[in-house]
Amino acid sequence: MWFPRLPSDRVLRARAQVTANDNRPFVLTHHEKNTDRIYCLNRAAEAQGLHRGMGVSDARAYCPELQSQPADTVADARFLQMLARWSKRYCPWVGLDGADGLMLNIAGSAHLFGGEAAMLDDMRHRLARAGLSGHIAAANTRGAAWALTHYGRAAHDDIRTLPVAALRLDAKTDTALQRLGLRKVSDLLALPRATIARRFGPDVVLRLDQAMGAQDEVITPMGEVPHYGVRLTLPDPIGLAADVMMGTERLLVRLCDKLKEQDMGARQLQLTLRRVDQGAQQVELRLAAPMRDADRISPLFERGIGAVDAGFGIDQMRLEATQVEPLLNAQITTATASRPDGLDDLITRLGNRIGLENIQRLLPADSHIPERSFQIAPAAYSTSNGAWSRHRPRPLKLFPPEPILGAGSQPPTRFRWRRMSLTTGRSTGPERIAPEWWLPDEAWRTGVRDYWYVETREGRRLWLFHTPQNPGWFVHGEFA
Amino acid sequence: MTAFESHFPPMNTRTHEVCGPSAYAFAFALAGRVCRTGADTVLWVREAWNGTQLNPLGFAPYLDPQQLLIAQAPSHIDALASAEEALRSGRISLVVMELSQPIGLTEGRRLQLAAQQGRAMGLCILPEGMGSNAAQTRWHCAPVFDAKARADSTLQKWEIIKNKSGTLRAWNVKWDAQTCRINVVSEAAQR
């Protein structure tokens, strides 16, 4: 199967009025060498004389009503994966062929669809209904199938009559062959093999053999992507929170078994509760650490399930691990036995109330700037490690610098701060801290700071700084 | 001296309150005292709008910053609910709540029950005069300027201003970074 217009078909399919847009020229663009170029185009655009690689502004000049959209290659690749999964309905042996094709090994499954021709008809029909333009062909070898999809005119062309480019050769070899008058595969077959190999390298012979079936070529089938979802359909609708909890526990046991098989742990879970009236309610659970222990996870769902409106009852439940992380079996030793596992559960519980990223821990950072000498990291996504360097006494609290009145390079003897009038009793300093010029920071625009530890007669012990390059005094922190 | 030892650290499985300019120092000294082993964890619940930043380099002498978790609650109610949950969990040794509004009797009592259930200690840092009647003790802490001492003086006045089971007293205390403990300074030396 070859989908020559896969990206544009995908985008047009997703649009609401596919049929309305169908006969209007549409292109996908990508940015290359400072210009937007056409990446993929639909049939209508091709009919207007546009082609791939053309500048978008040129194309607009030819065709003013052209619609365009930037291309998304990642989504295209995902779409092709999806198509591959869909085509497993025909045979289990499905491989990707480049960025826009699929290879199916239908030997042994064609008869299930009433023969090769009926199967291809079925594929064509279904793809056309889905709005995809695909070239489909069946052949005895992978190379021949590729040649037929890309270059074949009729359904059962003979590969010998196809141009040499159908042998999956690179452009340079193709041109060289054409220049010698070898236009068709049959021309190439008429030549002695040794001559071809000597002249064009072993690649041409290999491709020729692969197409004719003299050389084996395998299809690498796609691996099955593990899916962590389980569901439960109930004969009678339920509405009590306790019943929903019980159902969730059952689902969790099954999900955790799945996770255990793959050595994975869930990081984020989504429970979808479908109601009798077709409405659906979702409960999300973000865990502070990868987990696959049903007994530990189920109490964490309590709060979310309590908030669900069951309406006339819930008759279908679906639990999916939307985010998983590798979690290997760990050996229990004396060192790990006392590990505070319950702390992760607590972080999860709190996180589901106030947001998982709002539970934070402090990590050391390599900087002498007071505000940047530590990092604030979400506790669920970080581990506490690293050593804290303690050189000089630092205040317990830091706040954004608050300006006070003062002049000169010595701390002011009397000043007002936060509606208090304070008298300097003793001051220690200065300690000069220079801004990190390689990191732009708005607060440090005033240049170097001379920090003073000021003990006031009123008791408050403050961290003051003076900016000599841009004279001013500020309070930046408070000591014990 | 012995009197102070019998009051500090305050009773476990209870919630206490502290106010005054040195409330942070009290909280960290208490955290350092309660969480001697590395497995203990302190949860510091604060309201997210609070612009004052806890400085780990500043409190490292009191408590290993690795032992501290900070919860930034979006509102007063969320802060109280998070604190209650943490107290009840039994995984946290000390929950510090930094609050800007007074807490009612119901909320105070709930916190007491949670602390009892989880065998943890709670400490509310409150603005002056906003305490709840449910607290076990209330402390007022203020720094004291000591004209004679060395420059790195940490002299403070700690005063019990409410006590459900004992007398009200005041001490002049000093933090000793070498031994990581609070030393009581005799009153006479101050006069």
CA proximity to B170, closest of B191, B135, B142, B149: B142
A135: pLDDT confidence band, cut at 50, 70 and 90?
Answer: confident
**Structural contact between residues B84 and B109, judged by C-beta atoms closer than 8 angstroms:** no
> Residue A341's pLDDT is what?
63
**Quick one: pLDDT at residue A16?**
57
pLDDT (mean) for A61-81: 83
CA distance A369 to chain B (A): 11
Return the bridge partners of A320, or none. A229, A270
Give the mean model confidence (pLDDT) for residues A196-221: 78
Q: Indicate the pLDDT class of residue A452, thresholds 50, 70 and 90.
A: very high
- Inter-chain touch B151–A426, beta carbons under 8 Å: yes
- Per-residue pLDDT tens digits for A93-103: 888 887 788 88
- A277 burial (CB, 10 Å; 0-12 / 13-18 / 19+) is exposed
Nearest CA in chain A to B22: A480
The whole-angstrom separation of Cα A80 and Cα B122 is 57
pLDDT at A152 over 80: no
Contact B56 A361 (CB under 8 A): no
Helices (H), A112-167: 116-129, 142-151
What would the pLDDT profile of A120-129 be if each residue is shown by its tens digit? 888 888 888 8
Complex ipTM above 0.95? no
* Region of residue A418 (phi > 0: left; psi between -120 and 50: alpha; otherwise: beta): left
> Which domains are delineated in chain B?
11-139 (3.40.50.300)
Helix (H, G, I), strand (E, B) or coil at B184: strand
Contact (CB<8Å) A456/B147: no
Give the angle B114-B60-B65 at the CA atoms, nearest 5°: 50
Q: Which position has the higher pLDDT, A186 or A235?
A: A235
List, in sequence order, the alpha helices (H) in chain B. 2-7, 23-34, 56-59, 76-89, 105-118
Residues 119-138 of B with CB under 8 A from A: none
pTM over 0.80: no
> Shortest Cα distance from A392 to chain B (angstroms)?
9
**Do residues A7 and A28 touch, judged by C-beta distance below 8 A?**
yes
**pLDDT (tens digit per residue) in A333-389:** 665 555 556 788 888 888 888 888 899 989 888 888 888 888 888 888 887 777 777
Which of these, B96, B123, B154, B139, lies nearest to B15 by C-alpha position? B123
Report pLDDT for A220. Answer: 75
Residue A20 pLDDT > 80:
no
Amino acid at A200: F
Q: Is B3 on the interface with A (CB under 8 A)?
A: no
Is A212 exposed, middle or buried, given 0-12, 13-18 or 19+ CB atoms closer than 10 A? middle
With beta carbons under 8 A apart, name residues in chain B contacting A479: 58, 143, 154
The predicted pLDDT at position A450 comes to 92
Tokens of A343: 């702390």
Closest CA to A189 of A204, A175, A174: A204
Q: By percentage, how much of chain A surpasses pLDDT 70?
A: 94
Identify the pLDDT of residue B191.
Answer: 43
pLDDT tens by residue, B53-110: 899 888 888 888 888 999 999 999 999 999 999 999 888 889 999 999 888 899 999 9
As a whole number, mean pLDDT of residues A171-188 equals: 79
B187 confidence band (pLDDT: 50, 70, 90): low
The backbone region for A115, taken as left when phi is positive above 0, alpha when psi lies in -120 to 50, beta otherwise, is: left
What are the pLDDT digits (tens) for A101-110? Answer: 888 888 888 8
Beta bridge partners of A93: none
- Give chain B's mean pLDDT: 86
The reported pLDDT for the residue numbered A153 is: 67
Q: Is the peptide bond before A430 cis (omega within 30 degrees of 0)?
A: yes
Of B47, B175, B154, nearest in space to B103 by CA? B47
**Burial class of residue B125 in the structure, from the number of CB atoms within 10 Å of its CB (0-12 exposed, 13-18 middle, 19+ buried):** buried
For residue A419, give Cα distances in angstroms to A16, A463, A465.
63, 17, 19
**Judging by DSSP bridges, how do beta strands B121-125 and B15-19 pair with one another?**
parallel
Express as a percent the part of chain A with pLDDT over 90: 14
Average pLDDT, integer, range A68-87: 83
In terms of Cα–Cα distance, which of B65, B135, B127, B67 is closest to B105? B135
